[in-house]
Amino acid sequence: MADKIELTINGQSVKADKGMTILETALRKGIYIPHLCHHHDLDPVGACRLCLVEIAGKWTKIAISCKTEVQDGMVVRTETPEINEMRQVTLELLIADHDTDCLACEQNTKCALQRVADHVGVNKERLQRLKSREVKAPIDDSNPFFNFDPNRCVLCGICVRTCDELQNVQAIDFANRGLGTKIAGFGDKPRIESNCESCGECIVRCPVGALTEKDYMKPTHQVKTVCSFCGCGCGLILGVRDNRLVSARGDVSSPANKGRLCVKGRFGYKFVNHPDRLTSPLIKRNGEFVKAEWDEALDLVADTFSKNKGEKFAAISSAKTTNEDNYVLQKFARAVMGTNNIDHCARL
Ligand code: FES
């Protein structure tokens, strides 16, 4: 069992595990400390400087809570006039360099910057004194699944760390210096020309609306299921609206993927409602596929199979189906068709 540490946050006695940071401890206890660059899946970097706290006792100092480990007897205050002043300046500088078209942003009401602004408070007069960006940076919409809007980016680096630490792809990084700093792929080329695998893990973790899914629609209800693309069995939560699939996200309670998905699971759901999807069998007549009834198609299959038993026959099974379906197909190949020519797409 992990060693327990006892400390005080805002006068409240709190228990934590050894190795936890002050920010993790506070959030677990339901005490909000403003933050932007922290994500529980990633190593802390201390980039946004919003999570300041005051530590009293022998440690007396102002520290960033996302990188400071808890220690026995610590006395922490998350709000003091000095901290609030520093936080407000940092926040105003961030907002001055950020698009504020919140109603047109997919992250509206879920945005971490909105939450920080709501908590810290924004002074309109002070904000107006700050010069905002004159020329808008172009939106990178080259990826078929998501857009990157640098005007909404807060340079927290969560996308960079997700791509590096979790996905091991390293498609993006910080480019340039000072005011010109931005997130970019190698050579600042459009995202589609980078080695991005379009897994979308960066979109899920982006705390603001800089990375957003194309054609996003908010679902009215959600359904828990398992991804049908391969045999990994990743947990999926599908979003439904007007009887159509409009979103997919990883199920964090699934032991197979713990919430993470690849490009197919996250974005490959549109075939379900696609107008080109086959909904009835097709039979080739005079070189053309024509629609047929199920009975007619199944009779044709049975007739053709019975004329091609033995070594003339081979079957390839699919990872998109269940273990039981795969078992039945190999049984069918061996027992009914009289051949061992049976394989599975997972070996291809
Ligand atoms: Fe600690 Fe950003 S959350 S510096």
Query: Ligand 1 center to residue 120 CA distance, Å?
Result: 15
Q: What is the pLDDT of residue 286?
A: 95
Residues with Cβ < 8 Å from 200, sequence gap 6 or more? 145, 146, 213, 261, 263, 266, 267
- Ligand 1 pocket test target in 64, 87, 94, 113 with most atoms within 8 Å of CB: 64
> Is any atom of ligand 1 closer than 6 Å to the C-beta of 47?
yes
Distance, in Å, from the CA atom of 178 to the CA atom of 69, rounded to the nearest integer, reads 30
Q: List strands edge to edge, sheet with 235-241.
A: 221-226, 235-241, 244-250
> Is any atom of ligand 1 closer than 6 Å to the C-beta of 51?
yes
Record the pTM.
Answer: 0.86
> How deeply is 70 buried, as exposed, middle or buried, from its count of CB atoms within 10 A (0-12, 13-18, 19+)?
buried
Q: What is the pLDDT of residue 2?
A: 56
Tokens in use for 196? 């991005």
Query: In ligand 1, which atom is closest to the CA atom of 47?
Result: 4
Structural domains of the chain sorted by starting position, each given as residue range(s) with its CATH number in brackets: 4-104+112-129 (3.10.20.740), 309-348 (no CATH)
Tokens 């964090």 sit at which residue?
252
Tokens in use for 151? 């005007």
Q: What is the pLDDT of residue 322?
A: 83
Bridge partners (DSSP) of residue 140 are: 148
Which residue's CA lies nearest to atom 4 of ligand 1? 46
Q: pLDDT for 13-72, tens place per residue?
A: 999 999 999 999 999 999 999 999 999 999 999 999 999 999 987 777 899 999 999 999
Query: Ligand 1 center to residue 51 CA distance, Å?
Result: 5
Query: Ligand 1 center to residue 97 CA distance, Å?
Result: 18
Low-confidence ranges of the chain (pLDDT < 70): 1-2, 348
Q: What is the pLDDT of residue 348?
A: 67
Query: Ligand 1 center to residue 73 CA distance, Å?
Result: 23
Distance, in Å, from the CA atom of 261 to the CA atom of 252, rounded to the nearest integer, reads 10
Query: Ligand 1 center to residue 91 CA distance, Å?
Result: 12
> Is residue 183 within a helix (H) or strand (E), and if so which, with residue range?
strand 182-185
